[in-house]
A and B are shown apart, each in its own frame.
Chain A
Amino acid sequence: DVKVTQSSRYLVKRTGEKVFLECVQDMDHENMFWYRQDPGLGLRLIYFSYDVKMKEKGDIPEGYSVSREKKERFSLILESASTNQTSMYLCASSSGTGMGGTEAFFGQGTRLTVV
């Protein structure tokens, strides 16, 4: 069974903390994505990566950075967490060439609350 695994289901962090969200996939996919999901806004792309050490900004990259040192792992970093980064974060991966690939597989989500 294919899997995209996010390291935490729920996280509570304080304003100003550095936060790491980890995502691991076991499908040997080239493409990995980080989205945030907010009520009424749908999923919005933060960053994506189409190869090891490669990263591209999505639609809302401000306040975030990413790291892809290994093909199976894509990390999202909140350099200094703020309350407006309270959200559901979803990681996804897909195969294929280019930015999009084919079918996307999603992790279970991390609900982050910044207090």
Chain B
Amino acid sequence: KNEVEQSPQNLTAQEGEFITINCSYSVGISALHWLQQHPGGGIVSLFMLSSGKKKHGRLIATINIQEKHSSLHITASHPRDSAVYICAVRSYNTDKLIFGTGTRLQVFP
């Protein structure tokens, strides 16, 4: 079983829909990252959080440390949000990043 699990693996949405991507992990962590990877490969860091909630524009990330779960929400989705979203946790013991396999999001006009 992977130490970081994301769901769903693939997600399609119509423009304007509210989107939620989930991340569950099984290790002790010091931080959790949400990353965005566009076609072509480059990765951009969206959020780094260790508790509570963060918001940036239409993106919201939440984390529940007790339940070892995080969610990434996109409000009023747009075709330019189409990308792979990756959850990564920083292991408390090893200090290394452990990555989920990503959620491929396609938003259609």
Per the 8 Å Cβ criterion, residues 1-55 of B in contact with A are 2, 4, 30, 33, 35, 40-45, 48
Which residues of B are found within 8 Å of A58, using beta-carbon distances?
96
* CB closest chain-B residue, reference A59: B96
* CB closest chain-A residue, reference B92: A100
Where chain A touches its partner, the secondary structure class is strand
Contact B41 A90 (CB under 8 A): yes
Per the 8 Å Cβ criterion, residues 19-49 of A in contact with B are 33, 35, 37, 40-45, 48
Say which one of B56-64, B65-73, B75-83, B99-107 lies at the interface with A.
B99-107
Complex alpha-carbon distance, A104 and B98, angstroms: 13
Given contacts A100-B30, A100-B90, A100-B95, contact A106 B101 (CB under 8 A): no
Which residues of B are found within 8 Å of A42, using beta-carbon distances?
2, 4, 86, 99-102
B100 to chain A, nearest CB (A): 6
User: What bracket does the count of chain B residues touching chain A fall in?
Assistant: 20 to 34
Where chain B touches its partner, the secondary structure class is strand
Partner of A106, one of B2, B44, B48, B96: B44
Contact A106 B95 (CB under 8 A): no
Which residues of B are found within 8 Å of A48, using beta-carbon distances?
96
Which residues of A are found within 8 Å of B44, using beta-carbon distances?
106
Which residues of A are found within 8 Å of B88, using beta-carbon distances?
43
Partner of A109, one of B30, B41, B86, B97: B41
* CB closest chain-B residue, reference A90: B43
Which residues of B are found within 8 Å of A44, using beta-carbon distances?
99
Given contacts A42-B86, A105-B45, contact A99 B96 (CB under 8 A): yes
B98 to chain A, nearest CB (A): 9
Which residues of B are found within 8 Å of A98, using beta-carbon distances?
95
Question: CB within 8 Å of B: which residues of A?
Answer: 9, 33, 35, 37, 40-45, 48, 58, 88, 90, 92, 98-100, 102-111
